[in-house]
Amino acid sequence: MTVDKEKRRPVNFPPYKFDEEDRLIASQINGLKLSRIVNPKPFGPIFHFEINEQSTFQDVFEFLNSVPEEFEIQYFRPFSPEESVAGTIVIVQKVGSNYCFYNGSHGQDKIWKTITKDELLQELFTYRQHQSFGTIEVSRANKQPMIGQKAN
């Protein structure tokens, strides 16, 4: 594969064009401030939302309620409550009125598990100051999660 040295991306991979649908999606997600949109995924953009110590519980609540169901949320958990593992990336998807998650860091089992909305809200609020670069990522999900099944 050849790489355009100026732009540092594969020549045969065209740049993503942000359209009105992307802007509409970003404007529908409330609570946290949109900080940037990037596109390292081939199927669409990743929206970065600011979260920090000044973010209120209400901000996090509005954010979670406004993320479309066909999207996933990715954030950093500084430690795993199930294991003595230091830090992991957590991927969450809403399925109906429930939420599913898996630990996405290297070496994790990557099995979809359930998490209640209240547990997720509390976790996002509690760990808000630990988010890498002060953001939570939102992107279009690849496929529907299945509890107990391996992700990806």
Position 10 scores a pLDDT of 45
Q: Which tens digit of pLDDT belongs to each residue from 34-72?
A: 888 787 656 678 888 888 888 899 999 999 999 988 899
Tell me what percent of the residues of the chain surpass a pLDDT of 70: 75
Q: Going along the chain, which residue ranges are E strands?
A: 3-4, 9-10, 34-41, 44-50, 71-79, 86-95, 98-103, 113-115, 135-140
Joined together, the tokens standing for residue 71 give: 């999207």
pLDDT at 109 over 50: yes
Cα–Cα distance measured from residue 85 to residue 78, given in angstroms and rounded to the nearest whole number: 9
> Exposed, middle or buried by CB within 10 Å (0-12, 13-18, 19+), for 28?
exposed
Report CA torsion sign: 133, 135, 140, 145. Answer: positive
At residue 81 the predicted structure's pLDDT band, cuts being 50, 70 and 90, is: low
- Mean pLDDT over the full length of the chain: 78
Q: What is the dihedral of CA 58, 56, 18, 8, to 10 degrees?
A: -150
Contacts of 41 (CB under 8 A, 6+ apart): 139, 140
Position 26 scores a pLDDT of 77
Position 123 scores a pLDDT of 87
Residues, the chain, total? 152
Which DSSP letter does residue 136 get? E
